[in-house]
Amino acid sequence: MLTPNHVVTTARAVLIAGALTAAVLMLGPWPGLEQVFGLSDKTAHAIAFGGLVAVSFLAFPRMRRNDLALAAVLLGASVEVAQMFTADRSASISDLLADTAGVAVVYLASHIESLRSLARQRGRASFAEIAAQDRRRGGRRLAPVIQAAFPPPAGEPQAEGSTTFASRAARRFPRQA
């Protein structure tokens, strides 16, 4: 039976194979190989890095898309730097811009899909209501040691969720008299 974990594992294998293939083709002694497929150099770069970032979104579902897209652009930059040290290749800013364009197209498409998902799940809610329900946007909780060392001023209200475990448990399970 196919499960999401199988898809993630397969996507990780495809990502490793794709990244290695792209690196070998971009650093190897085969300049102009993309013309065999009828592609220009810049189009090949955009397709390669767009594909890599799309597969990385599947391979690492718990990582932020921003981080994965940035990693793909940094991979493109490192390939361009490595091309400076090869005999048959030369580094090009326009290649890096093509890599970034491919990443940007997939990144923006993924955000459009996120908006479509929000529209399906919470279509009648405003963006403010959705943001209020988003658990990731809560204030960062301070460690109990830091709370004890630096208590908030008496007049300042405490942020929700910043109470101690003991006080939450006492509210939930009041003592019987």
Distances (CA, A) of 168 to 148, 173, 174: 16, 9, 10
Q: For the chain of 177 residues, list the mean pLDDT of each consecutive stretch of 10.
A: 90 95 85 83 93 96 93 93 86 93 96 84 78 63 64 58 73 78
pLDDT of residue 127: 75
Distances (CA, A) of 177 to 113, 170, 174: 55, 14, 9
CB burial string 128-144: b at 16+ within 10 A, e below:
eeeeeeeeeeeeeeeee
* Continuous segment of H or E residues that includes residue 119: helix 93-121
pLDDT of residue 45: 92
Q: What is the DSSP code (8-state) at residue 134?
A: -
pLDDT of residue 16: 95
pLDDT of residue 141: 59
pLDDT of residue 174: 81
pLDDT of residue 159: 53
Cα–Cα dist 131/18, whole Å: 36
Through-space distance between the first and last CA atoms of the chain, rounded to whole angstroms:
55
Q: Spell out where the chain has E strands.
A: none
Cα–Cα dist 114/129, whole Å: 16
pLDDT of residue 90: 83
**Which tokens is 125 given?**
């809610």
Cα–Cα dist 30/86, whole Å: 12
Read off the pTM. 0.68
